[in-house]
């Protein structure tokens, strides 16, 4: 019996010495045993250090899930080997057990993890709710002010629900997002969205900028932005100067108010 016990102890030690606890991100070992503790940090910090390297919390969260799955698979293999050792009746049977069956170590990259993180976000209930809302925004009647309050829910020009080739009716609203700029436009002429018809000054016959509602009175003039259409008898303001509109227009112009004397007249105060 002592020979069997020694054989079992030796085989168990061989299992415990198996070098399996690794997980590589850009060839840097980022394996952690306490994934829940690190995941908690990810929920509170934008970046978390693991193995002497800082990782963005969103990609590290994906890595931690993969580490947990990998560790669970390794644990099952270890449990199976230990059970076989305990069941062996002779030292020879124990020594014949080959310590194998562990999953391959994972080698990944930050780029691959970022892709997985982005997909996970897209599948989240919150993201799906936003996707549904964007698809529905143009089927709901909203004032300009209401639309601006929910601007982030409108589709983005050239993207889903406002993709190139889509035919849009008058009143359809979409956003143009560039860097920190995010502008809401409204279609004023039915057409198909095209890459070379970007909403702006040059396509004033197709779009107008959605502006917060103002009474257009002398006391509450409409803040003017190039590209806006005009409405007769409404007051507009630019650079601290108020103008009265004398001609309604369907489209806007790439000009300041002072350069549109046939459309507006300065109000002397």
* Domains in the chain with CATH codes: 2-123 (no CATH), 126-209 (no CATH), 222-266 (2.10.10)
Tallying the residues shown for the chain, one arrives at: 269
Q: What is the pLDDT of residue 170?
A: 95
**pLDDT score, position 89:** 92
> Per-residue pLDDT averaged across 121-136, rounded?
72
The residues facing 53 across adjacent strands are: 50
Q: Which pTM was predicted? A: 0.49
Task: State the pLDDT confidence band at 226, using cuts at 50, 70 and 90.
Answer: confident
Torsion of CA 121, 126, 131, 132, to 10 degrees: 150
Least confident among 79-83, 106-110, 140-144 = 140-144
Question: What is the side-by-side strand order in the sheet with 181-187?
Answer: 173-178, 181-187, 207-209
Alpha-carbon distances of 2 from 13, 25, 161, 260, 263, rounded to whole Å: 16, 45, 74, 104, 105
Q: Which residue has the tokens 């997985």?
A: 116
Residue percentage of the chain with pLDDT more than 90: 65
Closest CA to 188 of 178, 177, 176, 174: 174
Helix 57-87 × helix 110-122 angle, to 10°: 100
């Amino acid at each position: 019996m002592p020979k069997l016990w020694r054989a079992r102890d030796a085989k168990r030690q061989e299992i415990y010495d198996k070098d399996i606890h690794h997980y590589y991100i850009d060839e840097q070992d980022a394996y952690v045993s306490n994934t829940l503790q690190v995941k908690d940090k990810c929920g509170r910090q934008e970046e978390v250090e693991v193995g002497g390297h800082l990782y963005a919390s969103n990609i590290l969260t994906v890595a931690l899930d993969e580490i947990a799955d990998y560790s669970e698979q390794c644990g099952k293999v270890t449990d199976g080997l230990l059970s076989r050792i305990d069941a062996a009746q002779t030292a020879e049977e124990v020594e014949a057990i080959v310590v194998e069956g562990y999953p391959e170590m994972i080698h990944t990259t930050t780029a691959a993890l970022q892709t997985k993180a982005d997909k996970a976000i897209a599948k989240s209930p919150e993201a799906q709710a936003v996707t549904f809302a964007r698809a529905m925004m143009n089927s709901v009647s909203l004032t300009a002010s209401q639309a601006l309050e929910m601007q982030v829910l409108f589709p983005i020009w050239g993207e889903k629900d406002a993709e190139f080739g889509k035919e849009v009716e008058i009143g359809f609203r979409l956003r143009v997002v560039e860097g920190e700029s995010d502008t809401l436009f409204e279609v004023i002429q039915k057409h198909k969205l095209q890459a070379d018809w970007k909403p702006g000054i040059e396509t004033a016959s197709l779009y107008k900028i959605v502006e917060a509602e103002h009474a257009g009175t002398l006391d509450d003039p409409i803040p003017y932005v190039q590209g806006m259409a005009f409405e007769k008898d409404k007051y507009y303001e630019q650079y601290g100067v108020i103008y009265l509109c004398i001609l309604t227009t369907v489209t806007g112009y790439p000009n300041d108010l002072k350069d549109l004397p046939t459309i507006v007249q300065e109000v002397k105060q």
